[in-house]
Structure 1
Amino acid sequence: MTNEVNSLPMVALRGMVVLPGMVTHFDVSREKSIEAIEQAMQENQKIFLTAQKDIEKENPGMNDICAVGCIASIKQIVKLPKKISRILVTGETRARMDCMEYDEPYLRANVVEVADIDNAEEAVGAKENPLNMEAMLRGLKDLFREYLPRNPKLSKDLALQMEEIKDLRRLVDEIAANIPLSWENAQELLEEPDVLKRYDKVVGRLVSEIQIINIKEEIQAKVKERVDKNQREYILREEMKIIREELGDDNTMSDADEFQEAADKLKAPAEVKEKLNKEIKRFKNTMGNPAETGVVRTYIETLLEMPWDNAGRDHKDIAYAKRVLDEDHYGLEKVKERVLEFLAVRALTKKGDTPILCLVGPPGTGKTSIAKSLARALKKPYVRISLGGVRDEAEIRGHRRTYVGAMPGRIATGLKSAGVKNPLMLLDEIDKVSNDYKGDTFSALLEVLDSEQNSKFRDHYIEVPVDLSEVLFVTTANTLQTIPRPLLDRMEVIEVSSYTENEKMHIAMEHLLPKQLRRHGLKPEQLTVSRRAVWKMARNYTKEAGVRQLERKLGEICRKAAREILETKKPAIHVTERNLHLYLGKELYTYQMANASDEVGIVRGLAWTSVGGDTLQIEVNIMPGEGEILLTGQLGDVMKESARTGISYIRSVSAAHKIEEMFFKEHDIHIHIPEGAVPKDGPSAGITMATAMISAVTERRVRADVAMTGEITLRGRVLPIGGLKEKLLAAKNAGIRTVIIPQENKVDLEDISSEIKKGMEILPVSHMDEVLKIALV
């Protein structure tokens, strides 16, 4: 660094930095700057140019400008209108402002020239190896040579000028003066006296500029390709149209013309046709925009495919329907009866109200297959919509067209796939629908299943009303507990109850076995299964209300039979009750049969489970103690309350049964229900526990062949229960001869087949006194 101090006029530049070797021009409008330029012209045409830190400041002081600037030589001044002067300068040397002499009437500063720290040779080892310096020069020139043709603002002659430069410092400054830099980056280069560091920064900036240009060209190429493709398609389309007109070819139509012709032929309400015509006009106007054209095209095609006024003919042959239902299903008399009633009403009224049937029952009882058979009996198109786990309202109502990837809801899509407006639509597992923040799915289903609303059902995607009043809806559910009351109120509930062993045997022999034989490639003469074997499978290898597990067991037999036929070359295999274990292994379930003798404190109760009915053996022990009641066997809250209710009733009638007053204070009562790992709950074991406790307290034996079910009150009244058919079936399987049921359940006996009731004495009771007379010996 030199110690020579020069006093020069100064101009503070806004958003601009002049580097040594740079030839550039700038406009000045401030009076101070114009005065400084004129003063410099009067002296030696030298001026100190530095950058202003805050470009918004009008009168910068010493602290507002950068200390390092450039001494430049003024080459030309051009006067412009509005007191603006355009100055052409050439940057010469770096300089540092020592102090500002004065700022009126113009800025003048004492500046010291800054010499370059030319240690590039030492840094790269040029003295030891001159090739290093040459490598740096060539590398920088190669980068600039790659950059120059990519920047149209630079002259091609600039490359020749750069090739002639042999000094690294000068090359760095020249390149820095010809590449785009922000004023902050340019100021950083200006303040750097070290040539090697300036070299690194210029190389980094050049590489960045080349990468930016590459990315920009790639984006422009993609945009140009897309525009060229659209333009090409438009030109070809217009040429094709002219060629068709010249040839008089009327057989080929554009998409818009095809849509218009289809819309004219479509049988639909006026509102739908008006919407279609509007969308077809919009489609014509968006032919040049593929993205919007695709959205409009999909919407038009959806409207054209909907069966607006296309209804299938109702099949009214009741005899045919009865024959189909009997062929496909054994039993299920209620369901068949309701379908035939519906057909009879249709035949008489020509239309009639379309019912909404809800088939409720345990898994595997054939609810879904009933709907399929019903569609076949009515000769209607069959559409199945599974609602299990659906929690988005848009699944039912559809998405609005403003969303990307919008589509119609499941109801509208089902109608479209059916092709008619009066199909049979099965809404499977309606009890497993859930809700979340996206909307209330049950409310959407309410509009679908309400006969007063569904004639104008509005799908968000289709946007015009869809008539669902002629659709025959059938829903299925395992339980009614999770279905909201308003929705349940609009459906006609038909219970599909558990099958008896006899019904399971008929279903297996007439439907399941032939189906499994076909599925496994076996002929009926190759594999036969006896009725006794099927009965044993239903009793000892499955425990369910339906026949799904039974069908799997038959499939297991078919697989093993197929392998045995291939390995042993046997012509036929016969599966009987005796050799069943060879195909299915050991028995999985056994029924707890009735006790052999009458006992004290042991009573057989009846329970309903999700897989059918079962028996509960309730045991009561009396021990000396302090009047505590122990309940074991994993009992639920309701069952515990039934036990306490039974205790209170017994204490209230203790005198009638000759029980001492201090008995309940001096004894503990332990109530236990075996199978402690299985949770149990419900009020229907009330009279069973009360009977067992009275037997234990009075030491009177209970009849071994009696089972009972019913809820008890504090006054000893017996209240009705549910699942009577399953409970009676469980009692019959356990060999029970006498069953006590609530008096109010007597009407339910009419719906239970004589097959179940045969051989059992069913006694309705209304009070505990009647129960005790029958049960206690």
Structure 2
Amino acid sequence: MSIDKNQNTTILPALALRGLVLFPGMMLHFDAGRKKSVAALNSAMETDQKIYLISQKDVRIDEPKAEDLYTFGCIAKIRQILRLPGDAVRVLVEGICRASTISMLEEEPYFVAEVAKCAEKKPRQKEVFIQALIRHVRQLFEEYSALSAKIPPDIVMTINSAENPGYLADFIASNLPLPLEDRQNIIEELNPIKRLEYVATLLERECEILNLDAEISEKVRKRIDENQREYYLREQMKVISSELNNESPEDEEEEYNQKIRTLKAPEDVKNKLFKEVEKLYRMPSGSHEATVTRNYLDTCLELPWGKYTKDKINIDAAQKILDKDHYGLTKVKQRILELLAVHSLAGNVSGQIVCLLGPPGVGKTSIARSIAKCMGRKFARISLGGLHDEAEIRGHRKTYIGAMPGRIITAIKQAGSSNPVILLDEIDKLGSDYKGDPSYALLEVLDSEQNSTFRDNYLEVPFDLSKVLFITTANTIETIPAPLRDRMEIITLSSYTREDKFNIAKNHLISKQLKKHGLKASNCKITDDAIYSLIDYYTREAGVRKLEHEIASLCRKAAKQIIAGEKKKVVIEGKDLQELLGPRRYKPEQILVRDEVGVVNGLAWTSVGGELMQLEVAVLEGTGKIEITGSFGDVMKESARTAVSYVRSRAREFGIDPNFYKTKDIHIHATEAAIPKDGPSAGVTITTALISALTQNPVLRDVAMTGEITLLGRVLPIGGLKEKTMAAYRAGIKTVFIPKDNEPDLSEIDPLVKQKVNFIAVDNVSQILKTALVYPVNSKKIQGEIIPPMQNVNNNEVKVISQ
């Protein structure tokens, strides 16, 4: 296969050597087992038995590519091939000349390379210098052979008789246990004098290593008895460690003991650490057990045993910090100030575990940071989202490989204080599997009666967590186990109103993002109209996280315009948003343009706040089927069936054909059908829509309602009233019906919402029907109930019956 293009270039099959280098004029034995290598050898044997041997850079690569090979190698002639059991072969080759890779022509089924023969450079030094260098190298090799005692006599004889400097360098390199990189450097050096000088440097290094090894052996031999082999090996390891680290085991033991004596830890903890130091001294310093013990001691000594920061609580200053960092949240701030006041009087806050509950983006994490700032304490955050291994809380036992303390102890070490403020973020998103339930591991952490002796599995000694102020955050309380929930005091953060978001953006977010993007108020301005447009048309959330992202996007675009020289000052108005951010992503929740039959505004709670949900009921000719669409959950389906049964029981009072359930099909539908919906609070909404559809009386378009209904028409309380009323306010609702039992919850409603929306508390659905339905003028009243006529009426002849 050898094809000469010119005198110095040839194409040969190539074989990658692993950890070996062949030199010209040298013989080399090696085994070949890779398919590419065997194929290359077979190809060479079929032609002139010449093959190009190059070394791979990383011996760990089983199937090297062209880029994994060095560019210098040796052209060799195959002298002998011996087939071994299996597919492997044993090869004897002889180096012919150095060569460099011009290009790798093929990689499959074996390497084929175009190589250039490399001729040695003619030395320019005088003959006297060359002879002196050869003599110096021979002396170094004699010194090395005396120290090594592993060099055969025939090799020494060959070196003493060699006169060619290039051959001498290659011969010594092929017989020394040199690293692959050093051998490769030698094969790549074409100047024989430089090559021999490099070999002399390597010989000096090897002699120095052997001398040091002899000194270590001599020191060890003086310390031990020859009959105690185990003790001999241990002492030898200690001496090697001493030579490397310039530190004796006795010094290390004393250093650890001194650190333990200065710890402000309990005596039982100190005694445990002293025992670990004693065990460490008896272990071989390089053993795995010694490394584990050393890491354990370092971890324990890094913990802030008995180190406490002094609280600096000033209620007025704390109020200013909270007002500066957070807009609104009056009740939350009041509760925090109460907590700080109690701590200032009592001296500790043990037993008070605060859980900040609210939708994403309302500032739960930043409130925890503000609490730490108000108290003058260190702050550490632990993210619990997706955590499903109990060992993440309690730590792993140190017998396991890679063991480490749990996240609680790690947070203490990170804070550098034994009384920090630790935030347990997203506690409602803890998982569990066969490794245990981390939520139950937190029971000890959050229990003031137990956490004074919290025992991490890695430490194996108690650590006092009673002075730590734990604050947790959650988006929903339903997924928190009851025992864990019982240990926490819930502080609810509601979603922000439109005005809240506007003020937060104007006073906090815009200035923050301008600074972050290198802008100033003098060269970038976002108008009030633009902020309101961002809130209404580009975000739909309870908090302000996405709003901040959109403001950051506007700042980036403004920065680009300023840097590009398009504008010196960028003023972003509401009309510019579609050009900068694209089409509007959301349409504001709006009520219908006119009163409709069978369409009622319901109110729903979601994790990002409240939403307006329209329920529609259509009555069709049929056989009494009930069709429910819109991704209703099981509870909502039960509410729909309850509503139908209630209407059937009072059909005559409402002027409805009592046999409607036999002759009519009823279709109940909720808008935004792709979103799953569940819960009992839509009961009154479904009932009102059903009666409207059966009586053909429209429902006022600016009325909304929420409440659970019973078979007797009673209206039962619901949850999430604050968020639901916020959704009603955003949509332009004028009147909201709420359960009578939820009337005390109106104190939690935003003042702006109470000012704009009229709330009517009811305990029976009939009270809703009086106000929500639009009745014809010729309707009759019987016992305070409205009985509409069955015939069609003119929609213009209506009046509103108010309660």
- Opposite residue 282 of structure 1, the aligned amino acid is K
Residues 683 and 710 in structure 1, CA contact (< 8 A), matched pair in contact too:
yes
Residues 415 and 421 in structure 1, CA contact (< 8 A), matched pair in contact too:
yes
SS in 2 for 1:276: helix
Residues 351 and 447 in structure 2, CA contact (< 8 A), matched pair in contact too:
no
Q: Deviations over 1:277-316 (max 9, x none)?
A: 2222222223545433222221112121112211111122
TM-score by length of 1: 0.68
- Deviates further, 391-400 or 598-607: 598-607
Q: 1:740/1:236 Cα in 2 relative to 1: closer, same or farther (>3 Å)? A: closer
2:198 is aligned to none
Residues 602 and 685 in structure 2, CA contact (< 8 A), matched pair in contact too:
yes
1:442 is aligned to 439
SS in 2 for 1:579: helix
Work out the CA distance in 1 between the residues paired with 2:635 and 2:308. Answer: 52
Pick from 333, 337, 353 the counterpart of residue 334 of structure 2.
337
Q: Deviations over 1:2-27 (max 9, x none)?
A: xxxxxxxxxxxxxxxxxxxxxxxxxx
Pick from 707, 710, 720 the counterpart of residue 710 of structure 1.
707
- Opposite residue 384 of structure 2, the aligned amino acid is L
Pick from 409, 412, 417 the counterpart of residue 415 of structure 1.
412
Q: 1:421/1:710 Cα in 2 relative to 1: closer, same or farther (>3 Å)? A: same
Residues 349 and 469 in structure 2, CA contact (< 8 A), matched pair in contact too:
no
The answer to whether structure 1 residue 461 and structure 2 residue 458 are counterparts is: yes
Q: 1:335/1:243 Cα in 2 relative to 1: closer, same or farther (>3 Å)? A: closer
Work out the CA distance in 2 between the residues paired with 1:255 and 1:776. Answer: 87
Q: 1:536/1:229 Cα in 2 relative to 1: closer, same or farther (>3 Å)? A: farther
Work out the CA distance in 1 between the residues paired with 2:529 and 2:571. Answer: 12
2:800 is aligned to none
Q: 1:694/1:315 Cα in 2 relative to 1: closer, same or farther (>3 Å)? A: same
SS in 2 for 1:606: strand
Residues 646 and 714 in structure 1, CA contact (< 8 A), matched pair in contact too:
yes
The answer to whether structure 1 residue 452 and structure 2 residue 456 are counterparts is: no
Work out the CA distance in 2 between the residues paired with 1:368 and 1:461. Answer: 29
The answer to whether structure 1 residue 268 and structure 2 residue 271 are counterparts is: no
- Opposite residue 433 of structure 1, the aligned amino acid is L
Larger Rg: 1
Work out the CA distance in 2 between the residues paired with 1:574 and 1:292. Answer: 66
The answer to whether structure 1 residue 545 and structure 2 residue 549 are counterparts is: no
Work out the CA distance in 2 between the residues paired with 1:634 and 1:385. Answer: 36
The answer to whether structure 1 residue 426 and structure 2 residue 423 are counterparts is: yes
Stretches of 4+ aligned residues off by more than 6 angstroms: 134-137, 224-230, 236-244
Residues 354 and 471 in structure 1, CA contact (< 8 A), matched pair in contact too:
no
Within a 5 Å distance, the mapping from 1:608-687 to structure 2 comes to: 608-687=605-684
Residues 361 and 543 in structure 2, CA contact (< 8 A), matched pair in contact too:
yes
Residues 708 and 718 in structure 2, CA contact (< 8 A), matched pair in contact too:
yes
1:371 Cα deviation after fit:
1.1
1:638 Cα deviation after fit:
1.5
Work out the CA distance in 2 between the residues paired with 1:465 and 1:701. Answer: 70
Within a 5 Å distance, the mapping from 1:120-519 to structure 2 comes to: 234-235=238-239, 254-286=251-283, 288-519=285-516
SS in 1 for 2:309: coil
1:241 Cα deviation after fit:
13
1:610 Cα deviation after fit:
2.3
Residue identity over aligned pairs, in percent, reads: 50
1:428 Cα deviation after fit:
1.0
Work out the CA distance in 1 between the residues paired with 2:81 and 2:666. Answer: 102
1:401 Cα deviation after fit:
1.7
Provide the aligned C-alpha RMSD in A.
3.0
Contiguous gaps of at least 5 residues in structure 2 = 1-78, 85-89, 92-151, 153-212, 221-229, 775-803
1:582 Cα deviation after fit:
2.1
Q: 1:288/1:775 Cα in 2 relative to 1: closer, same or farther (>3 Å)? A: closer
Work out the CA distance in 1 between the residues paired with 2:246 and 2:521. Answer: 68
Work out the CA distance in 1 between the residues paired with 2:267 and 2:379. Answer: 28
Work out the CA distance in 2 between the residues paired with 1:558 and 1:712. Answer: 50
Work out the CA distance in 1 between the residues paired with 2:309 and 2:481. Answer: 33
1:708 Cα deviation after fit:
0.7
- Opposite residue 238 of structure 2, the aligned amino acid is Y
Q: 1:136/1:619 Cα in 2 relative to 1: closer, same or farther (>3 Å)? A: closer
Residues 634 and 680 in structure 1, CA contact (< 8 A), matched pair in contact too:
yes
- Opposite residue 408 of structure 1, the aligned amino acid is P
Q: Deviations over 1:613-665 (max 9, x none)?
A: 21122222222222222222222222111111001111111122222332332
Work out the CA distance in 2 between the residues paired with 1:136 and 1:388. Answer: 62
Residues 599 and 699 in structure 2, CA contact (< 8 A), matched pair in contact too:
yes
SS in 1 for 2:617: strand
Q: Deviations over 1:658-717 (max 9, x none)?
A: 223323322222222222222222211110110111112122222121111111111101
1:423 Cα deviation after fit:
0.3
Q: 1:437/1:464 Cα in 2 relative to 1: closer, same or farther (>3 Å)? A: same
2:103 is aligned to none
Q: Deviations over 1:568-598 (max 9, x none)?
A: 3422111112222222222111124222332
Work out the CA distance in 2 between the residues paired with 1:576 and 1:229. Answer: 80
Residues 718 and 767 in structure 1, CA contact (< 8 A), matched pair in contact too:
yes
Residues 387 and 433 in structure 1, CA contact (< 8 A), matched pair in contact too:
yes
Q: Deviations over 1:74-96 (max 9, x none)?
A: xxxxxxxxxxxxxxxxxxxxxxx
Q: 1:680/1:238 Cα in 2 relative to 1: closer, same or farther (>3 Å)? A: closer
SS in 1 for 2:294: helix
- Opposite residue 514 of structure 1, the aligned amino acid is S
The answer to whether structure 1 residue 581 and structure 2 residue 585 are counterparts is: no
1:776 Cα deviation after fit:
1.4
1:263 Cα deviation after fit:
1.3
Residues 283 and 293 in structure 1, CA contact (< 8 A), matched pair in contact too:
yes
Work out the CA distance in 2 between the residues paired with 1:398 and 1:502. Answer: 46
SS in 2 for 1:372: helix
Work out the CA distance in 2 between the residues paired with 1:309 and 1:376. Answer: 21
Residues 237 and 284 in structure 2, CA contact (< 8 A), matched pair in contact too:
no
- Opposite residue 260 of structure 2, the aligned amino acid is A
Q: 1:258/1:724 Cα in 2 relative to 1: closer, same or farther (>3 Å)? A: same
- Opposite residue 509 of structure 2, the aligned amino acid is L
Q: 1:693/1:278 Cα in 2 relative to 1: closer, same or farther (>3 Å)? A: same
1:700 is aligned to 697
Q: Deviations over 1:500-532 (max 9, x none)?
A: 111111111122112211221112211111122
Work out the CA distance in 2 between the residues paired with 1:343 and 1:748. Answer: 27
Work out the CA distance in 2 between the residues paired with 1:471 and 1:329. Answer: 24
Work out the CA distance in 2 between the residues paired with 1:505 and 1:243. Answer: 64
Work out the CA distance in 1 between the residues paired with 2:688 and 2:573. Answer: 43
SS in 2 for 1:671: strand
SS in 1 for 2:564: helix
- Opposite residue 593 of structure 1, the aligned amino acid is Q
- Opposite residue 615 of structure 1, the aligned amino acid is L
Work out the CA distance in 2 between the residues paired with 1:563 and 1:640. Answer: 53
Work out the CA distance in 1 between the residues paired with 2:636 and 2:349. Answer: 47
SS in 2 for 1:581: helix
1:531 is aligned to 528
Work out the CA distance in 2 between the residues paired with 1:487 and 1:575. Answer: 48
Within a 5 Å distance, the mapping from 1:750-761 to structure 2 comes to: 750-761=747-758
- Opposite residue 385 of structure 2, the aligned amino acid is G
Q: Deviations over 1:754-775 (max 9, x none)?
A: 0222221111111111111121
Work out the CA distance in 1 between the residues paired with 2:559 and 2:340. Answer: 44
- Opposite residue 560 of structure 2, the aligned amino acid is R
